[in-house]
Structure 1
Amino acid sequence: MRTLIVTEFITLDGVVDSPGGGDHPRAGWSFKEVDFVEEAYEIKGREQLEAEAMLIGRVSYDEFAPVWPTMEEEFAEYNAMPKYVVSTTLTGPEWNNTSVLRSIDEVAELKQGEGGPIIVHGSATLAQALGEAGLVDRYHLLTFPVVLGEGKRLFSGREAGKLALVEHEAYSNGIVKQVFDVVR
């Protein structure tokens, strides 16, 4: 069985909406409101090297697919690996190595297969659905010292269970890395 890892930029009040851009009124908060400290993003490079597949929702696909393939130096591993988009409407994805899954049940089947970790980027709605379905094994969170008050959140409140902190570090710009395993 494969490990499913949700990775998020998250605010102190639990919002994961539009950290790099998007529709939120304060879109781009992850770089506009917090000073860049390179070591805070070490986990992002590690995720690329360790993951064997990427899982994203349709909105994230629409945001990532036009940009990430042009950033070969930053996202070489992600661009090369298999990518899965959970969508009931997407047809003919153009990003190389991309397949469409039509339901959370199909994600569960993918997870049951052989292979290494599957990384879930962005995709708040998908991350909530995966958490509610009990499919998430680990959370990689970079918590930013920002409060947005509103926006899409990582947890719906319908998830159940306990998390075990397995890695953490605080950085000079106030970002805190937290890696949690889901305890079953």
Structure 2
Amino acid sequence: MRDLIVTQNITVDGVVEAGDWFDPGGGGQDLLDVLTEQAARADGFLTGRVTFEEMRGFWPLQQDDTTGVTAYLNQVHKYVVSTTLRDPGWEPTTILPDLDAVRRIKEEPGTDIVCTGSITLAHGLISAGLVDEYRLFVYPTVVGAGRRLFPDGVPQSLRLTDTRSFDGGITLSIYRRE
């Protein structure tokens, strides 16, 4: 069975909506190295339609990306949960109609499936008990309001398995669902 991993950039107070606080380069080369390591262990990238369309409009157009993100996203198998998307226009991509389809791809052979962003989808995955691991890149800021990672009324029992710190006060906390 493949692990489904939710990776989020998050503030100390749990907000996942990107704002002025989010600076992906703020963690330095060490942070980029960790992201590259994680990408190497994943052969699936899961997203919702809105995030997918935003990414499709940006990443395939990058010419001089030295981070490796463009190369990874162009080759990894992308899964998009959507009932309205008909032509993904960015291969290799499979459109999944619902969370039951996500459950089925977890049963297929392969390595990790990573969901980044897509907070509405992440809420659905969490509520359905489909998330095996959370990788939280915590930024040292408190914004006081915004959408949070964990939906109200869905308790989680988690076990901390690893932590790392990076430049700019960013930390990575990895939790497994128990």
Same fold (TM over 0.5): yes
1:79-98 map, 5 Å: 79-98=74-93
**How far apart are residue 111 of structure 1 and its match?**
0.9
Q: Kindly provide the CA deviation profile for residues 76-103 of structure 1, in whole angstroms up to 9, marking residues without a partner as x.
A: 1221011011111111011111111111
Unaligned runs of 5+ in 2: none
The reply on whether 1:150 has 2:145 as its aligned counterpart is yes
Q: Which moved more, 1:132-141 or 1:64-73?
A: 64-73
Count of matched residue pairs: 174
Moved more, 149-158 or 90-99: 149-158
Matched, 1:30 2:22: yes
* Alpha-carbon contact 1:9-1:144 (below 8 Å) kept: yes
List structure 1 runs of 4+ shifted beyond 4 angstroms.
Answer: none
**What are the equivalent positions in structure 2 for 1:3-18 lying under 5 Å apart?**
3-18=3-18
CA distance in 2, matches of 1:171, 1:81: 26
One of 167, 173, 181 as aligned partner of 2:176: 181
**1:2 equivalent in alignment to 2:2:** yes
Give the gaps of 5 or more residues in structure 1.
19-26
Deviations 1:14-56 (A, max 9, x none): 11112xxxxxxxx342129x94432233321112111011000
Please name the residue that 1:46 is paired with. 37
Confirm or deny that 1:160 pairs with 2:155: yes
Pick aligned residue for 1:69 from 53, 60, 69: 60
Q: How much identity, in percent, do the aligned residues show?
A: 37
TM-score, scaled relative to structure 1: 0.87
